[in-house]
Amino acid sequence: ILNVEQSPQSLHVQEGDSTNFTCSFPSSNFYALHWYRWETAKSPEALFVMTLNGDEKKKGRISATLNTKEGYSYLYIKGSQPEDSATYLCASYNTGKLIFGQGTTLQVKP
Amino acid sequence: EPEVTQTPSHQVTQMGQEVILRCVPISNHLYFYWYRQILGQKVEFLVSFYNNEISEKSEIFDDQFSVERPDGSNFTLKIRSTKLEDSAMYFCASSEQGMDTGELFFGEGSRLTVL
């Protein structure tokens, strides 16, 4: 059974703090790793799709790295703002399916 | 900005009834998907659809489920005889490229409650 795990499950930080979360995925038959940002009552919104080992992508204050050999990806948020509060989902594309983790819920306090 | 739209936003049905969930994907996208999330659980892949046929489906997507793109704009998910365990939020998504390279654009979901 293919399993994608994210940690921590939830995170509370102060405005201005930098933070990071982890996504672990099966390294065999790996094709791509997706990150999505999901605000309450909205639809998940794509952040990154990463395919190459060692890949690093950045969008504003958010960046992500990928290690396909050991099966993990980190998502970093620099200088968290209240509007960053959301659930961050990672998903591994493997054997024709996108397998999601359970998400990390970030709460940024002003 | 183009978006994926889903209807209805919430449907309540009796066990054993047929349900159709509708989606309008982004117009130039070629790949279409259904996912679901049972309350408190992970988002689960149901099916992917490309070139007017199912390209991949999960073990959840049994004979009770079917998908259709009847008119070139809508993409529907039909559950023939709903069970209590089908209660979930169902998300439609579309993409320009396949999941190996392309990001998915999700709708806001259709909440299905089976009584």
User: How big, in percent rounded to 5, are the helix, strand and coil portions of chain B?
Assistant: 5, 50, 50
Does residue B100 carry a pLDDT above 80?
Answer: yes
User: Is the N-terminal amide bond of A8 cis, ω within 30° of 0?
Assistant: yes
Q: Which of B7, B23, B39 is nearest to B104 (CA)?
A: B23
Query: Which of A25, A49, A59, A90 is the best mutation test for B, with the most CBs of B within 10 A?
Result: A49
pLDDT at A1: 64
The phi, psi pair for A82, rounded to 5°, reads -55, -35
pLDDT at B104: 96
Does residue B48 carry a pLDDT above 80?
Answer: yes
Low-confidence ranges of chain A (pLDDT < 50): none
Whether A31 and B58 lie within 8 Å, measured CB to CB: no
Whether A101 and B45 lie within 8 Å, measured CB to CB: no
Alpha carbon of B4: minimum distance to chain A alpha carbons (Å) = 9
**pLDDT (tens digit, 9 = 90+) per residue, B74-96?**
999 999 999 999 999 999 999 99
What does the pLDDT average to over B47-65?
94
Token pair recorded at residue A97: 């399916």
Whether A97 and B45 lie within 8 Å, measured CB to CB: yes
Token pair recorded at residue B38: 């049972």
In contact, B33 and B45? CB cutoff 8 Å = yes
pLDDT at B35: 97
Percent of chain B with pLDDT over 90: 91
pLDDT at A5: 97
